[in-house]
Amino acid sequence: MAPAGCCLLLVLLIAAGGRAAANSAAAVATTNNKPQQLVQSTCNSTTYYDVCVAALAADPSISTAADVRGLCAIAVSAAATNASAAGASLLASAAAYQSQPQAPLLRACAARYADARQALISAQEAIKEEAYDYAFVHVSAAAQYPTMCRALFRRASSQQRAYPSDLAKREEGLRRLCTVVLDIISLLLLPY
């Protein structure tokens, strides 16, 4: 084969290989975009899009979520982690304020967050069993448990105990996560 023919053949092989590599890269990108597209379309159906995307994106298992049910399980897990962290923080605060009058209130609030976490664990089990109506009830309960803290502080207001702003932020954060989960469960409850 003449040198010009070899160069032409080499160029064609490189071009074909490059095209194959580009096609392969496009296939990988499409595969990697599928979870992103699923997250975006699911989160677009929620009340708090940014909370939804942040909660789902924070979980490394998002890349293996194949459907809305998988995203729902991830969102419930994020809410349970949030409730657990809030409860642990409240217990630490109660220990720091052990001799202060708010310590019993903080311990009671930590117990409500533990209740919320337990309700979210029950929701996870219900989702695994595709019992979405039960999951909805458990998540609804989880969203309500922290509001008991506000009520406890309100009842103790005769002693001038204001509701701590960081506690209000935690309550709102869990409420928003639970709202996102409820919105996703609602998608699972829709008839197809």
Give the per-residue pLDDT at 190.
85
Mean pLDDT, to the nearest integer, of 30-59?
88
Residue 16 has pLDDT above 60, yes or no: no
Residue 171 has pLDDT above 60, yes or no: yes
Give the per-residue pLDDT at 27.
32
Residue 8 has pLDDT above 70, yes or no: no
63-93 pLDDT per residue, tens: 888 899 999 999 999 999 999 999 999 999 9
Residue 158 has pLDDT above 70, yes or no: no
Question: Which pLDDT band holds residue 192 (cuts at 50, 70, 90)?
Answer: low
Give the pTM. Answer: 0.79
Give the per-residue pLDDT at 191.
77
Mean pLDDT, to the nearest integer, of 105-128?
97
Residue 10 has pLDDT above 50, yes or no: no
Give the per-residue pLDDT at 9.
33
Percent of the chain with pLDDT over 70: 80
Q: Residue 83 and residue 5: Cα distance in Å, rounded? A: 69
Q: Residue 144 and residue 116: Cα distance in Å, rounded? A: 8
Q: Residue 118 and residue 53: Cα distance in Å, rounded? A: 24
Percent of the chain with pLDDT over 90: 65
Mean pLDDT, to the nearest integer, of 89-112?
91
DSSP string, the chain: --HHHHHHHHHHHHHHHHHHHHHHHHHHHHHHHHHHHHHHHHHTTSS-HHHHHHHHHT-GGGGG--SHHHHHHHHHHHHHHHHHHHHHHHHHHHHHTTTSTTHHHHHHHHHHHHHHHHHHHHHHHHHHTT-HHHHHHHHHHHHHTTHHHHHHHHHGGGGT-PPPHHHHHHHHHHHHHHHHHHHHHHHHHS--
Question: Which pLDDT band holds residue 182 (cuts at 50, 70, 90)?
Answer: very high
Give the per-residue pLDDT at 157.
64
Q: Residue 183 and residue 47: Cα distance in Å, rounded? A: 7
